Amino acid sequence: MFSGELFFNAIVSGLLIGGFYAAVALGLSITFGCLEIVNIAHPTFVIFGSYVTYILNVNFGLDPILAGLVFVPAFFVLGMFLYRFYYASFERAGQESLNGLAFFFGLMFTVEVLLILVYGVDYRLVSAPYIGQTWHLGYIDFPLRQTVPFVVGTAMTIGVYLFLSKTFLGRAIKAVSQDRLALQLMGADPIRVKQYAMGIAIATAAVAGSLLIILGPVEPSQGRLYIGRVFAMVVLGGMGSVSGTLIAALLIGVIESFVATFYGPSWAPAVSFGLLFITLALRPQGMFGRA
Amino acid sequence: MGRFWLGATGVFMAGLLFTGAVDNEFYFFSGYVILQGLIMATAWNILGGFTGYVNFGSAGFFAVGAYISVALHQALALPLPFLILASGMVCGLMGLATGYLTLRLKGIYFAISTLAMAIVLETVITNWEYVGGASGAYILTPKDSLFFASYVELLFMVMLIIAIAAVAFARYLSTSRTGKGLTAIRDDELAAECMGVPTLRLKLVSATAMGVFMGMAGAPFPFFITFVDPLSAFSLFIAVNAIAMPLIGGTKVWYGPVIGALILGLTQEITTVTISSELNLLIVGVVLIGFITLAPGGIVGLVQDFSRKRLRSKAAPSAGGDR
């Protein structure tokens, strides 16, 4: 019964999807991992990114990835405002745990309903010359609608990784959750650092959204499926470690692809959630995390 | 005793009178939905409000309750009260397991894992062919509706009884010694443990109670909508309501969720009829965000603040300023 063709195609397809998953989880790795802000609305921002991509693509014929990039500054500013609001309402009062969580839950729900109100529950899709083409390498398929998101997603993740480890602001973002006082002594304002970090996190959602709608049609409630996935990746990757998140994303992509190929796609959503569940219960610091 | 039970009896009698006097089934459909929200809000609040463990998986418990009811109805054709008890028991056990989870997972990690649990449950039920799987199951409404004019009136009264039981239990919990222990856990679990509060036992009690009432709220659901599929049973809307109602009403006291459920439930029913059901969802989201940011204590907190301010200004009328 073992089929090498099926096996290798499952691995490749899983890796390709995993690269895209990394793009979705990247923003949460920053907000949740570095800033300790539990933004469960992050996947909803990704869906929002898909819809702005859709609008630009359908109305102006812009390439989906270009459309996502056009919206990066807008999403960056949106993220900064979101942090300011979050700080003023919850963090300053020390209320972030329960109320902050409920706030993002309400935000997720509200954005989803707004998208349904404006665009309905129909699936939306974009058009680009590479969607629908497939490259073949031996008997292994590289569908471009998966390969392009993989390349862009992985590149973005590596870019953010380099930014966080090489630049002053990047290091400040990594430091802000570890030692706030030391950061202040280094002459950086923690509030402003966090504000930029949240801006970057939400900006990655714009690109991830454009990748999502290249990968397949999008509808407003899809974001919910990604909540468990992205949290699984961030926790599994060891809170705030971008490289760990990338590895975890590739891993989850491959496992999901295997489950979908050999057990049926209807079981795939349970994979990441089950994995998250087990990680949280047995090894909360993740695979690569500091104990 | 006394006033609360007098009030509860009054509500029950009013419900009976209502079924006798009103013929329009629409009111019972609306009433059922509001009561369902009330039970779930009260159940959520026992763990989320009193004990401080946020549960995003309410819809999971609710749906398991509904599906246990479907399965037992198909297999043994048990009457409704047994289905409710069975659902309550199964979901109570699930709640107990959730309670043990709190040993390892605190705060946000607990909240996220409940979210994960709901999706895992949804996947399992989607793949459970016996109860219809992804395509759903039809339930025939029983012909016999006792001495009520229609079956929905019977369901309405059943929900009223469960609601009274849930509220009575929540009230008992919050006013008893157990309730003080739960409050201590919410405020500082480590300190509570050090002071000799049996934190694990209390968390297990409150998580189990949450599960029991969530399951009971779900058990009559298949008979109410007559067609259940995973999408309707695991609807995000049900989960959001269970959280929004206590947060809007006030999470620290037993009557907070009741007030939130009545106000939000009534608003929803009215907007669904007069405007649209999508707009009604938007209202829930916006009102929820508004209350969390501006009035974290909910309506009860607002009223308490207001009366405290008035007392203070009465106590020191000539002193002026603060205190």
The mean pLDDT value for B257-285 works out to: 84
Is A214 a member of any domain? Answer: yes
Is A215 a member of any domain? Answer: yes
Return mean pLDDT, chain B: 85
* Numbered residues of chain A with Cβ closer than 8 Å to any chain B Cβ: 38, 40, 85, 89-90, 95, 97-99, 101-103, 105-107, 109-110, 112-114, 116-117, 221, 224-225, 227-228, 231-232, 266-267, 269-270, 273-274, 276-277, 280-281, 284
The mean pLDDT value for B121-146 works out to: 79
Using 50, 70 and 90 to split pLDDT, how confident is the model at A96?
Answer: low
The structural architecture, per CATH, of the domain B3-315 is Orthogonal Bundle (1.10)
List pLDDT tens digits, range A112-124: 889 988 888 888 8
Which is higher by pLDDT, A78 or A267? A78
List pLDDT tens digits, range B190-213: 888 888 888 888 889 999 999 999
Residues of A in contact with B119 (CB under 8 A): 224-225, 228, 269-270, 273
Q: Is the confidence metric ipTM above 0.85 for this complex? A: no
What span, in angstroms and rounded, lies between the C-alpha atoms of B177 and A8?
61
What does each C-alpha distance from A42 to A241, A256, B115, B289 come to in angstroms? Answer: 17, 21, 15, 16
Which is higher by pLDDT, B269 or A49? A49
Q: How many domains is chain A built from?
A: 1
DSSP state of A134: E
Using 50, 70 and 90 to split pLDDT, how confident is the model at B319?
Answer: very low
Packing angle of the helix pair A223-236, A242-262 (nearest 10 deg): 120
**Nearest chain B residue to A88, by CA:** B293
CA-based nearest residue to B226, from B29, B43, B37, B87: B29
pLDDT of the residue at B321: 44
Domain enclosing residue A190, as ranges: 18-223
Torsion of CA A206, A19, A31, A214, to 10 degrees: 20
Residues of A in contact with B127 (CB under 8 A): 266-267
Using 50, 70 and 90 to split pLDDT, how confident is the model at B44?
Answer: very high
The mean pLDDT value for B125-132 works out to: 82
Is A168 a member of any domain? Answer: yes
Instruction: Delimit the domains of chain B by residue range.
Output: 3-315
CA-based nearest residue to A209, from A75, A60, A53: A53
Is A2 a member of any domain? Answer: no
List pLDDT tens digits, range B211-246: 999 999 999 998 888 888 888 888 878 888 888 899
Which is higher by pLDDT, A61 or A178? A61
Is A229 a member of any domain? Answer: no
